[in-house]
Structure 1
Amino acid sequence: MIEKQPVITIVDSDSSSVPSVQDGLKKNLKPRHINFIALGGSLGVGLLIGSGGALAIAGPVGMLISYALMGVITMCTIFSLAEMCAYLGSEGNFIEIMARFIDNSTAFAFTWSNALSFSLTLPSEISSICLLIGFWDSDKKLPDWATVLIFTFIIIMVNIVDVGAYGEVEFWVTMIKLILFVGSILFCLIATCGGNPLHKTTGFQYWRDPGPFVSYLTDKPVGKFLGMWRVLVNAGFGYQGSETIGLASGEVANFRKLAPTVMKSVAIRVLTFNVLSLFMVSLMVSSNDPNLLSAISAGAGNGAQSPFVIAVENAGVKVLPSIVNGGILIAAFSAANTQIYIPSRTYFYGTKYGFCPKWLIKTNRNGVPYYSVLFNGAFGLLALLTLNNTAAQVFNWLMNLVTEFGFICWALINYAFLRYYYGLKRQGIDRSSIPIYKSPLQPYSAIFACFMLVLVAITQGFTAFIPWDTQNFFAAYISLILYFVFWLGYKLWTRDFREIPLDKIDLSYPEDEEDLEYDNKAAKVMDKIFC
């Protein structure tokens, strides 16, 4: 007797009795928009300015190891997300993934943790804009409060008009950022070989003196490891935003086919740009560079602290530092743009499960949830805190806060994938038979990424214990505390303390109508070419 093999239940996504919140969104984003939004969100101030502190703390090799390790973790996370998005099709967003593969309490905690992560990144990006303008305007002829209000208004307007307009702005701004990165890499390559006004050849000079690593907190060998571990926070902040496409399912056509392709290319390019650009900069700037250390100790936090700007200054080029600082300013604007898009859609999708107020899903005629955009845009006004504190202190505090949220959310993405993976096994469904993208090295890559992210999230605040510092402790772990408050609070409210059993996970395969239309169009094109 032949045992009957389990099959995947195919469900027409349009036949659900539950009204979809996606009905208010419009598919006005193009593939090139999605590609550049995801890429641009991860090439921002965290890399261009935050890497200065990373170089001083860990040294050139220590910095590169940290960024490479976090890059691998990022790739594993994005690949796991790509397969789940491909499986769910037009329903493939973070909230649906958490609710379907884990439970509602995790989805609720993820909704608010992820949204707050990016909402709180917004004021850090706007405060960095104040810092970057201060590179030219040291006398503060343009007050910080005016800068905050002007850029917050501009960013809200870009997001509230039309998602297509937002995508178009991100496309061209990210194009400028890519030119900046490619130009910086080529400049450092030429300059380090002596092609600069000073005719100075550096090569690997700074790797030998002061050395490839910097001891952090202690002169013992463990100090070099502590430096690399501390820099993982900087690296994590620099990579966050590369998972943006996980919220675009309701605003781009053919999401099931598009998501894996874009995510794979973005993951590889993000890792390449981060590591390669920092490698080239480490040849031009030493970890004990006087300009770098003085900018960090003074709390400048602007282009003066960026190793990219210092590399140009060390080469003796007079005009380029201002150009590079301008490029970093554009990068900050682009990143701030994304900080409104992500939480506004997170709240939008969370409303389907009752996690957020219903007024957040109201859309204008262009399909933009304008109340949600305004709500998240208001967080930009927190940048006014820089008027009473040094901007660098605020920036670093917010960077630690949002990076911890990011680590938690990334760990949950990998955990959700493991639940999806073993759910298929428990229900007897052959993963290889599903006609979608399969992420590589599973389940080991998801296990590795999840373990590393949890480990970093728990230990990243170790400096608060050496010696004990209450303020630094809460700055490092308030995000973790808030997540557990959200998670446990929802469980207590609903009195549901169990995860969805693996054999009860809804693994029905949503068949999107647009996928059928896409296949039919492709078939017609092939017929014209070959018949």
Structure 2
Amino acid sequence: MVWNGTDDSKLESDGVRAVETQPGSIQVPPGRNIELHRGLKARHITMIAIGGAIGTGLIIGTGSALAKAGPASVLISYTFIGFIVYLVMCALGEMAAWLPLPSGFTGYAVRFVDPALGFALGWTYWCKYILITPNQMTAGALVIQYWLPADKVNPGVWITVFFILIVSINYFGVRFFGEFEFWLSSFKVIVILGVILLSLILALGGGPDHDRKGFRYWKDPGAFNTYIDDGAAGRFYAFWSTMVQATFAYLGTELVGVTVGEAQNPRKTIPRAIKLTFFRIVVFYVISVLLVGMLVPYDSEELAFAVSASSSAAASPFVVAIVLAGIPALPHILNACILLFVFSASNSDLYIATRTIYGLAREGKAPRFLTYTDARGVPIYSLAASAAFCLLAYMNVSNDSKTVFGYFVNLVTIFGLLTWVSILVAHIFFVRAREAQKVPLEDLPFRAPLGKWGSYFALFICILVSLTKSYDAFTHNPKWGNFDHKTFITSYLGIPIYILLIIGYKFIKKTEMARPETADLWSGKAAIDREEEEFLARQAELSEKKQNYGWFYKTFIGWLF
């Protein structure tokens, strides 16, 4: 195992097999390929961004938040965290449009802040995705228990099927992966829009029971549940607990920052995907949780993650809503769709984990052999290293699915929050460098609407949620003397790991923080500019008829986004 130890590798890819030649860069044996292929089209990037975000957090995890805090708390928390996510995405979009690096946002942390931050960000982000992938597989096994309880068919059977499928899809190359995710994510979007329409109809009394529910459950049992304490304090505790679930639901929206190395014309496709994030948040999240809160009372025994030990296996609150409305057969159909949702999310999560560790290796911050790609541009060793951690999902075989799911949510959420913190810090430093070096605003392909002040606000909220997200570990488990050590460890373990990675790398490598006047805003930009010009020239020569499925996407699907 060879470690390079470079602090800031400046990659200038020609899109085929370019190799770094600058001092301190990776030395690659002749004929050895380390380059990704730009095989992701604009429609692929758009749908991967949507598909990765519509997963267990929205479809399944919403049930946990609703049962604990009530519909009003869930609506407020999902709306507020959605605004924070939009600020994070805009910050990322400004940097990615200026300089689409193969290493993604870890490269921005290296260049604009400190190589130590890039090191810590890359490894914590990889940790997040090697945990969230088995988490999605865990959720898949839980969804299947709607039909086949664990005492009839061992969850390990379904985990094995998921594992083989997602590894195979990722192995066949980025073009196959992009096309597969495009159609599967398109199906997910159509289904979730159908569910939103159905939920609205049920809320207005259009179901078989002709029961016009409206906001009835906001009055009885109520809009706010209590947690830990009674009265206003209990309602606030319940509300704040949903901030964690809302954060988990939005994790994955930043993954477009990892796809820039394989995106065609990233200066156009990445900002476009990010600009539309606001509308996706409103439609897919805010409206969804509003309607499900109208259809399912928070004290329903049907919620799989309710505190009651006798809860059923109907994992999604959307399925519960249809069951309560008395629609036959449809719950089974929707549950099957949800299973595809989870499968798609786990597939894209493995992709992101693979590209993250590959990006670290490209910068000399991971073993060098992980940079190797095959003829299809697939980093096969990085894929194998990431896929190995999917085996954590087999913890389901001997443990309660809901318990494992909860621990994974805690770990993944803190890693996700630290990722957002790092992106926001990198953007603040990027703006400082841009202002110090007097880069004209009109030269930016995309600019964050609220600038660095929006990033400062989002940074404050992310840090606040990170430090307070599991306050109940100190107050709510009498068995351990009012201290839940398991929740505490899984909730906050990521913070010391993150800090130690920064301090350790900085101490060993003696790195220096980037200064605004000298921060590297330009290395690699000329090569990307040339690549963009060549791509646009080739596209101009192609007729729309020759673009696979392009006419179908633009005519029937593209307008939705």
Shorter-chain TM-score above 0.5: yes
Q: Where do 1:444-455 residues align within 5 Å?
A: 444-455=453-464
- Alignment map for 1:250-399 (pairs within 5 Å): 250-292=261-303, 296-298=307-309, 302=313, 304-399=314-409
Q: Is the 8 A contact 2:47 2:181 kept in 1?
A: yes
Tell me which amino acid in the other structure corresponds to 1:93: G
Amino acid at match of 2:451: Q
Tell whether 2:62 aligns with 1:51: yes
Does 2:494 correspond to 1:483?
Answer: no
- Name the counterpart of 2:244: 233
CA deviation after TM superposition for structure 1 residue 521, in Å: 5.8
Determine helix, strand or coil for the equivalent of 2:276: helix
Q: Distance in 2 between matches of 1:306 and 1:371?
A: 36
The one-character-per-residue Cα deviations of 1:91-147 (angstroms, maximum 9, x if unpaired) are 571121110011111111111100110110111111111111111012644322222
Q: Secondary structure at the match of 1:223?
A: helix
Q: Please point out which of 16, 21, 30 is paired with 1:17.
A: 21
Q: Which among 443, 450, 471 is matched to residue 486 of structure 2?
A: 471
Structure 1 pair 147–525 and aligned structure 2 pair: CA distance change class (3 A): closer
Deviation at 1:351, TM superposition (A): 1.4
- Show the 5 A alignment for 1:31-180: 31-91=42-102, 93-138=104-149, 140-180=151-191
- Alignment partners' CA distance in 2, 1:87 and 1:411: 20
- The verdict on how the C-alpha distance between 1:327 and 1:13 changes in structure 2, with shifts beyond 3 A counting, is closer
State the match for 2:413 in structure 1.
Answer: 403
Q: What SS does structure 2 have at the residue aligned with 1:499?
A: coil
Residue 517 (structure 1) aligned with residue 525 (structure 2)? no
Report sequence identity in percent: 35
Q: Does 1:223 align with 2:223?
A: no
CA shift, 1:329, in A, is 0.6
The answer to whether the 8 Å contact 1:84/1:92 transfers is: no
Cα distance in structure 2, aligned partners of 1:413 and 1:73: 12
Count matched residues.
Answer: 513
Q: In 2, distance between residues paired with 1:167 and 1:298?
A: 41
Does structure 2 retain, via aligned residues, the 8 Å contact 1:35–1:266?
A: no
- The one of 451, 458, 469 equivalent to 1:460 is 469
Alignment-derived partner of residue 440 in structure 1: 449
Relative to structure 1, the CA distance from residue 196 to residue 100 in structure 2 (aligned partners, 3 Å threshold; closer, same or farther) is same
Letter aligned with residue 451 of structure 1: F
Change (3 A) 1:139 1:340: closer
What TM-score results when the alignment is normalised by the length of structure 1?
A: 0.92
Alpha-carbon distance, 1:502 to partner: 2.1
Counterpart Cα distance in 2 of 1:522 and 1:146: 46
SS in structure 1 opposite 2:221?
coil
TM-score, length basis structure 2: 0.87
RMSD: 2.2
| In 2: Cα distance, 1:334 partner to 1:519 partner | 31
Q: Deviations over 1:310-345 (max 9, x none)?
A: 100011012111111111111110111011111111
Q: Partners in 2 of 1:370 and 1:118 — Cα distance?
A: 17
- CA spacing shift, 1:142–1:264, aligned 2, 3 Å: same
The runs of 5 or more residues in structure 2 that have no matched partner are 1-10, 476-481, 544-561
Q: Which residue of 2 aligns with 1:502?
A: 516
Is contact 1:90-1:256 (8 Å) kept? no
2-side partners of 1:444 and 1:300: how far apart?
45
Which residue in 1 is equivalent to 2:202?
191
Query: Which range moves more in the overlay, 331-340 or 462-471?
Result: 462-471
Q: Give the corresponding residue for 2:213.
A: 202
2:426 is matched with which residue?
416
The C-alpha deviation readout for 1:135-188, integer Å capped at 9, x for no partner, is 101264432222222211111000011111111121121122112211111111
Deviation at 1:470, TM superposition (A): 1.6
Provide the C-alpha distance between the structure 2 equivalents of 1:195 and 1:271, rounded to a whole number of angstroms.
Answer: 24
In 1, distance between residues paired with 2:255 and 2:261?
13
